[in-house]
């Protein structure tokens, strides 16, 4: 009897939870739209350059916009705890203040994630999501990005300089978050290495952070020619354009971050073989910075597991064959590419550090 009642109570609670929870999905896109709007208006930037919290009128005048809709946007951003509202006092009206989260909406700076948010919420990147079910049902001939845009992500970038620029700035956001986490947890990985080539290194952000932290390293930033053409010149870094399916420049070690997940197993094995050819057989290594999907969630870091699973969906929407891999799937591609052994080190970030030895 008691068990039955407990079961009924549990079901009622689940019902209650579902009644509220479902609205998250009905209006899930609104959060993204509002945050995108905040970045485009430059709300965080305005408060930052003002140097202290701002009233609605100060903010609307700095942003040159109508206070009434701005108030409604701020109301929801405060509700989402992106900005803080400090209540009105006798001395003055209420003010809006930054939080650690709103500082990530700044257009530049160490913690800025603005470009990544703008990329993922751009019409180019949003359009393929509408084809996800068709892809899963096999109702479209091409991968979804290609179906919508007529070419894959990389050719699209080559033909659309604005998209190329935004894409590389977005990847730089990821590098600013994840490369320091790699260096903090695994500095010893880079000891004794004189030269490193970053395969698919984008605008060179990863390599810049690496040579800064490891002054003994000379780096090569290697990517497609239209991508390295945007990379900054930097001491101890050579920017080299090319195709990783043809040849990878030689170095003591390869670093390859957020690249292999863009490709299916066959391409991944081809890229890894080229990386292996680039390093010395006896003391070389390939350092892979990628997510590892923990299907049983044994580490219990549920929040990062969510991000890794979301990233896997991003691969499905935006790449032809890409996917996030489990431990077993990483073992398979590394073995097929001819590596004799590998180690996987989880770090306090979305990706892990995988070292593969010839
Ligand atoms: C998801 S981005 C990762 C960028 C960077 N490694 C990071 O983590 O911020 C994948 C990179 O692979 C590069 N890429 C794609 N095809 C390539 C090819 N055939 N040869 C070299 N690089 C390529 C892209 O231009 C892009 O910069």
pLDDT of residue 195: 97
In the CATH hierarchy, which fold is given to the domain comprising 18-104? Arc Repressor Mutant, subunit A (1.10.10)
CA dist 182 and 347 (Å) reads 7
Please tell me the distance between residue 97's alpha carbon and the centre of ligand 1 in angstroms: 37
pLDDT of residue 59: 98
Q: What average pLDDT score do residues 6-21 get?
A: 88
- Which distant-in-sequence residues (6+ apart) come within 8 Å of 293 by Cβ? 305, 308, 309, 312, 324, 325, 326, 329
- Which distant-in-sequence residues (6+ apart) come within 8 Å of 124 by Cβ? 149, 156, 160, 163
pLDDT digits (tens, 9 = 90+) for 22-76: 999 999 999 999 999 999 999 999 999 999 999 999 999 999 999 999 999 999 9
Q: Rounded to the nearest 10 degrees, how much is the dihedral formed by the CA atoms of 331, 287, 221, 123?
A: 50
Please tell me the distance between residue 202's alpha carbon and the centre of ligand 1 in angstroms: 6
CA dist 142 and 146 (Å) reads 6
Decide whether any atom of ligand 1 lies within 6 Å of the 318 Cβ: no
Decide whether any atom of ligand 1 lies within 6 Å of the 202 Cβ: yes
User: Which of 160, 182, 223, when mutated, tests ligand 1's pocket best, judged by the most ligand atoms within 8 Å of its CB?
Assistant: 223
Report yes or no for ipTM above 0.85.
yes
- What is the residue with the minimal CA distance to atom 27 of ligand 1? 202
H-helix or E-strand spanning residue 229: none
pLDDT of residue 91: 80
Nearest to 292 by CA among 256, 261, 253, 338: 261
In the CATH hierarchy, which fold is given to the domain comprising 178-357? Rossmann fold (3.40.50)
pLDDT of residue 298: 66
Per annotation, catalytic residue among 17, 50, 130, 261: 261
pLDDT of residue 234: 93
pLDDT digits (tens, 9 = 90+) for 198-238: 999 999 999 999 999 999 999 999 999 999 999 989 999 99
User: Which of 168, 202, 220, when mutated, tests ligand 1's pocket best, judged by the most ligand atoms within 8 Å of its CB?
Assistant: 202
| Residue 347 pLDDT > 80 | yes
Decide whether any atom of ligand 1 lies within 6 Å of the 153 Cβ: no
pLDDT digits (tens, 9 = 90+) for 62-85: 999 999 999 999 999 999 999 999
User: Which of 156, 158, 173, 200, when mutated, tests ligand 1's pocket best, judged by the most ligand atoms within 8 Å of its CB?
Assistant: 200
Q: What is the distance, to the nearest Å, from the Cα of residue 117 to the centroid of all Cα atoms in its chain?
A: 9
Evaluate whether 115 touches 173 at the Cβ level (below 8 Å). Answer: yes
Q: Where are the alpha helices (DSSP H) in the chain?
A: 2-26, 28-41, 43-50, 56-63, 67-79, 100-103, 114-120, 123-126, 132-137, 144-149, 153-159, 161-186, 205-213, 225-228, 265-278, 302-318, 327-336
Please tell me the distance between residue 339's alpha carbon and the centre of ligand 1 in angstroms: 22
What are the residue ranges spanned by the domains of the chain?
18-104, 178-357
Decide whether any atom of ligand 1 lies within 6 Å of the 128 Cβ: no
Nearest to 326 by CA among 339, 308, 338: 308
CA dist 176 and 111 (Å) reads 7
Length of the chain in terms of residues written: 358
What Cα–Cα distance (Å) separates residue 242 from each residue in 221, 245, 247, 292?
Answer: 10, 9, 8, 28
CA dist 143 and 15 (Å) reads 37
Q: Which of 9-18, 51-60, 251-260 has the lowest mean pLDDT?
A: 9-18
- What is the residue with the minimal CA distance to atom 23 of ligand 1? 200
Decide whether any atom of ligand 1 lies within 6 Å of the 258 Cβ: yes
CA dist 315 and 307 (Å) reads 12
Evaluate whether 254 touches 199 at the Cβ level (below 8 Å). Answer: yes
pLDDT digits (tens, 9 = 90+) for 163-205: 999 999 999 999 999 999 999 999 999 999 999 999 999 999 9
- Residue 173 has a CB neighbour count (10 Å cut-off) of 20
Mean pLDDT, the chain, integer: 94
Does residue 163 carry a catalytic annotation?
no
The tokens for 273 are 């073989």
pLDDT of residue 4: 75
The tokens for 199 are 């395969």
Decide whether any atom of ligand 1 lies within 6 Å of the 351 Cβ: no
Decide whether any atom of ligand 1 lies within 6 Å of the 224 Cβ: yes
Decide whether any atom of ligand 1 lies within 6 Å of the 74 Cβ: no
């Amino acid at each position: 009897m008691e068990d039955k009642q407990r079961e009924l109570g549990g079901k009622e609670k689940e019902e209650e939870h579902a009644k509220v929870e479902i609205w998250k999905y009905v209006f899930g896109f609104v959060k993204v739209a509002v945050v995108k709007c905040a970045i485009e208006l430059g709300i965080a930037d305005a408060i930052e350059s003002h140097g202290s919290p701002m009233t609605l009128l100060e903010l609307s005048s700095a942003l040159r916009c109508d206070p009434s809709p701005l108030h409604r946007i701020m109301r929801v951003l405060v509700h989402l705890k992106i900005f803080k509202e400090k209540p009105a006092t006798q001395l003055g009206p209420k003010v809006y203040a930054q939080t650690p989260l709103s500082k990530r909406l700044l257009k530049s700076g160490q913690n800025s994630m603005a470009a990544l948010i703008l990329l993922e919420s751009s019409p180019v990147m949003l359009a393929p999501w509408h084809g996800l079910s068709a892809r899963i049902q096999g109702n479209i001939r091409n991968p979804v990005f290609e179906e919508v845009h007529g070419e894959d992500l990389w050719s699209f970038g080559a033909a659309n300089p604005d998209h190329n620029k935004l894409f590389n700035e977005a990847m730089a956001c990821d590098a600013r978050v994840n490369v320091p986490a790699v260096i903090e947890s695994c500095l010893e990985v880079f000891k004794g290495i004189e030269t490193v080539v970053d395969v698919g290194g984008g605008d060179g952000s990863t390599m810049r952070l690496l040579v800064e932290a490891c002054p003994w390293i000379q780096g090569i930033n290697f990517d497609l020619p239209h991508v390295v053409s945007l990379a900054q010149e930097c001491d101890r870094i050579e920017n080299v354009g090319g195709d990783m399916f043809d040849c990878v420049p030689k170095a003591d070690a390869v670093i390859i971050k957020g690249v292999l997940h863009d490709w299916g197993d066959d391409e991944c094995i081809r890229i890894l073989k080229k990386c292996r050819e680039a390093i010395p057989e006896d003391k070389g290594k390939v350092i892979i910075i990628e997510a590892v999907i923990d299907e049983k969630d044994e580490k219990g870091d549920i929040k990062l597991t969510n991000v890794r699973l979301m990233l896997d969906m991003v691969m499905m929407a935006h790449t032809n064959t890409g996917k996030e891999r489990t431990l077993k799937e990483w073992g398979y591609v590394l073995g097929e590419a001819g590596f004799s052994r590998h180690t996987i080190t989880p770090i306090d970030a979305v990706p892990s550090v995988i070292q593969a030895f010839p």
